[in-house]
Amino acid sequence: MSVYICPVCGKPLVREENTMRCENRHSYDISAKGYVNLLGPGKSVRGDDADMVAARRRFLNSGNYDALRNGICEVLKKIEFETLLDAGCGEGYYTKRICDEFEKAEIYGLDISKTAAEKASSLCKTAHICVASAYRMPYSEHSFDCVLNVFSPLAADEYKRVLKKDGHLVMAAPLPEHLAELKQAVYDSVNVKEMKDTKIQGFKLVSEDSTVYRMRLETQLLKDLFTMTPYYHKTSYEDKAKLDGIGMLDVTAAFMIFDYIRI
């Protein structure tokens, strides 16, 4: 049974050959790459563009975040799940590993970027990928045993809606010292933000694990990493150009992986 719902009327979507259609005859074509766009009519949000997706793929393929991906899989191994949603799946770096590790599970991925969803669908052949907003997810209530959030906006109400009772939310977030040296290389002054409150309404925190290590990065990977951050679009051309003059830099990677249960 399909877990998808129509972004217009909320009715269940049924696949008919290469189209998904609801009882009100709203229809959505499945692309040749295998993903479906369920962002809804009139929505012009683009998400990450092709350059940002390409930068993220280059950096992630370098292996520098493999420790985070491995840590997420270790947490997931402690959870019994048959269905998992990667909410904000990007180009599929984490999704692909989960598909490989948990072959019996049904894996879904959602991203607001059409470019990212296309890459994820090509990479993760067995996953169900769609374009949509995490704040208005095209899934029926209580569809998933687990939702994964890696550095994505926190849509707690939607997570609670689509998770089954006692379902898990696994979330990766940066620690205050994450990428400190990269920020110092770009900006004249850096404000270190404290870790946010870990409480999420409707969820109970059951475990948290930290991972901290150093990455030695050359210029291109530094630029790719900075392009992945939320600071990229808010930074001047002059500050971004400072990275061109750095041949090599040791950068701290510091993450926390949280496991919550829906209550």
Complete domains list, the chain, with CATH: 1-30 (no CATH), 41-262 (3.40.50.150)
Residue 40: the pLDDT is: 80
* 8 A C-beta contact, residue 30 and residue 19: yes
Torsion of CA 94, 143, 137, 153, to 10 degrees: -50
Residue 191: the pLDDT is: 79
- Beta strand pairing call for 27-29 and 19-21: antiparallel
Among 65, 68, 118, residue whose Cα is nearest residue 91:
118
111 three-class SS? strand
**Which residues of the chain carry a pLDDT beneath 50?**
none
159 three-class SS? helix
The rounded distance, in Å, linking the Cα atoms of 20 and 207 is 38
Residue 84: the pLDDT is: 98
Is pTM, for the whole model, over 0.85? yes
Matching residue, tokens 């210029």: 219
Which residues are bridge partners to 136 per DSSP?
Answer: 133
Q: pLDDT by residue (tens digit) across 113-140? A: 999 999 999 999 999 999 999 999 999 9
Residue 117: the pLDDT is: 95
The alpha carbon of residue 70 and the mean position of all alpha carbons in its chain are separated, in whole angstroms, by 15
Q: Label residue 101 left, alpha or beta by phi (over 0 means left) and psi (-120 to 50 means alpha).
A: alpha
Residue 43: the pLDDT is: 60
> Residue 179 is encoded by which pair of tokens?
């990428």
* 8 A C-beta contact, residue 177 and residue 236: no
Residue 231: the pLDDT is: 86
The rounded distance, in Å, linking the Cα atoms of 76 and 191 is 33
The rounded distance, in Å, linking the Cα atoms of 22 and 13 is 5
Which residues are bridge partners to 13 per DSSP?
Answer: none
The rounded distance, in Å, linking the Cα atoms of 134 and 38 is 11
> Residue 235 is encoded by which pair of tokens?
């930074």
The alpha carbon of residue 47 and the mean position of all alpha carbons in its chain are separated, in whole angstroms, by 12
In 3-state terms, the chain is what percent helix, strand and coil (to 5)? 30, 30, 40
Matching residue, tokens 């939607």: 158
Q: pLDDT by residue (tens digit) across 162-189? A: 999 999 999 999 999 999 999 999 998 8
The rounded distance, in Å, linking the Cα atoms of 81 and 72 is 14
